[in-house]
């Protein structure tokens, strides 16, 4: 099972959003799918990653079960057709390629926004589901912890995680910097289109004391509020909340600005920051002439995001070198796991011989002599086993482990020796 890692992969590169929405899995659905894979297909290791941009299922098996796994996904999602979905999936059955792909996903190299910080959390969450459902064995445990450690190296050693590389991340990052001197800043969000909604999601768990959401379609605002615990206000009452907001975000598509200078009430000694995320502009430019009012438009935020993105792109070769080193170490461990049964059998055989020979003479020895004989024979056994173990590990790195393992099996007739740990 240590070199039988496979996957079925559907991403924004292979499928439009209409298809991605159909196969996206909630946490309960992902957990049920893991149980389906265990009960129906007999799998013992699997990982389900499902986000707005990808649904990927990794598994360990000797056979390619790609179509069967997609069929189980269709059953979980109710009435989806395997025939309809198959063209959008990559069915990957090459171990090395699958391992590399999961590394790239976990680090953020495969994200729509290169270096996306969210994917690391989503991969950890998927791993937790596997562990909870009893679907993470020695291979998956080692692989996931290697990816997490690699992520830490990437963060510490490169610029791949520096700065916000999406407009919504960049906007929230700017808001936090601008209000750093305010211990309890408030935010008013007007308009919850795609970018407005993204900003709201990124505001979650930040240090803002109050966030108000106003949208023409109130149901959309209420859905976002359920996920974020923010407060929904009536769209036609946003002007009442405007004076209380330290930061105002507007992304309402209108032919003329929604927020005009007459709606703003400057307050002495206080700054108010306006983020205009709409084109055409939804905040009147002349507001910036008012005392304490500062406007940032979509171009300002794009420039900041682009600078961060360029730094991330420039650091990709360094990130790939770190991943290469991590995969090389992981592959060495994988190969050593393949020969570990041979090592254990050899140790068990020698231990059996040691005990049998000592037993022949024990009745003639006192307690002190028995202790000395135990120490001497154990020390001898450890020195005898040391060289074959070192040679096996060296053979792993050369890719010759299986040949040497076969020689040891034949030489000592290890097939008859039970594996004990």
Q: Residue 113: its pLDDT value, please? A: 77
CATH number, span 167-309: 3.40.50.720
Q: Residue 185: its pLDDT value, please? A: 93
Asked if pLDDT for residue 400 goes beyond 70, the answer is no
Express as a percent the part of the chain with pLDDT over 70: 95
User: pLDDT tens across 34-90, in order?
Assistant: 999 999 999 999 999 998 789 999 999 999 999 999 999 999 988 788 999 999 999
Asked if pLDDT for residue 1 goes beyond 70, the answer is no
Task: Tell me the mean pLDDT in the region 226-237.
Answer: 91
Q: Residue 163: its pLDDT value, please? A: 67
Distances (CA, A) of 190 to 172, 222, 267, 297: 15, 13, 21, 15
User: pLDDT tens across 135-183, in order?
Assistant: 999 899 999 999 999 999 998 999 887 766 677 888 888 899 999 988 8
Q: Residue 401: its pLDDT value, please? A: 64
**Residue in 52, 74, 250, 293 annotated catalytic:** 52
- Mean pLDDT is lowest, of 95-99, 229-233, 357-361, for 357-361
Mean residue pLDDT of the chain comes to 88
Q: Among residues 248, 162, 244, which one has the least CA distance to residue 199?
A: 248
**CATH topology for 5-160?**
Beta Polymerase; domain 2 (3.30.460)
Q: Long-range pairs for 410-416 at CB < 8 Å and ≥24 separation?
A: 412/346, 412/349, 414/342, 414/345, 414/346, 414/349
Active site residue 250: no
d(CA 89, CA 92): 9
Asked if pLDDT for residue 2 goes beyond 80, the answer is no
The model carries a pTM of 0.67
> Exposed, middle or buried by CB within 10 Å (0-12, 13-18, 19+), for 41?
middle
Domain spans of the chain?
5-160, 167-309, 339-416
């Amino acid at each position: 099972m240590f070199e039988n890692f496979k996957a079925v992969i559907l991403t924004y590169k292979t499928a439009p959003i209409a298809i991605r929405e159909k196969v996206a899995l909630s946490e309960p659905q992902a957990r049920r799918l893991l149980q389906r894979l265990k009960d129906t297909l007999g799998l013992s290791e699997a990982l389900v990653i499902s986000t707005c941009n990808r649904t990927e299922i990794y598994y360990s098996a000797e056979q390619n079960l790609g179509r069967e796994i997609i069929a189980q996904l269709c059953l979980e999602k109710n009435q989806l057709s395997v025939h309809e979905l198959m063209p959008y999936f990559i069915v990957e059955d090459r171990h090395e390629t699958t391992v590399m792909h999961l590394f790239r996903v976990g680090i953020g190299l495969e994200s729509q926004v290169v270096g996306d910080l969210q994917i690391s959390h989503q991969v950890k969450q998927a791993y937790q589901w596997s562990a909870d459902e009893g679907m993470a064995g020695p291979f998956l445990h080692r692989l996931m912890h290697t990816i997490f450690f690699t992520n830490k190296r990437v963060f510490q050693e490169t610029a791949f995680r520096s700065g916000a590389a999406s407009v919504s991340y960049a906007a929230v990052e700017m808001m936090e910097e601008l209000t750093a001197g305010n211990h309890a800043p408030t935010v008013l969000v007007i308009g919850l289109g795609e970018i407005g909604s993204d900003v709201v999601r990124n505001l979650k768990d930040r240090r803002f004391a109050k966030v108000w959401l106003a949208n023409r379609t109130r149901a959309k605002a209420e859905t976002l509020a359920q996920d974020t615990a923010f407060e929904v206000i009536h769209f036609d009452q946003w002007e009442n909340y405007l004076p209380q907001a330290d930061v105002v975000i507007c992304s309402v598509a209108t032919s003329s600005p929604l927020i005009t200078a007459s709606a703003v009430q400057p307050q002495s000694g206080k700054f108010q920051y306006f983020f205009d995320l709409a084109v055409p502009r939804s905040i009147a430019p002349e507001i910036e002439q008012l005392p304490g009012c500062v406007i940032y438009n979509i171009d300002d935020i794009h420039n900041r995001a682009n600078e961060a993105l360029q730094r991330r792109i420039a650091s990709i070769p360094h990130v790939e070198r770190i991943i290469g080193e991590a995969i090389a170490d992981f592959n060495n461990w994988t190969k050593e796991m393949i020969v570990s049964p041979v090592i254990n059998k050899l140790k068990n055989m020698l231990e059996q011989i040691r005990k049998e020979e000592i037993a022949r003479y024990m009745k003639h020895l006192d307690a002190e002599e028995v202790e000395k004989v135990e120490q001497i024979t154990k020390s001898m056994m450890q020195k005898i086993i040391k060289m074959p173990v070192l040679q096996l590990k060296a053979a792993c790195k050369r890719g010759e482990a299986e040949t040497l393992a076969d020689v040891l099996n034949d030489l000592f007739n290890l097939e008859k020796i039970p594996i004990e740990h």
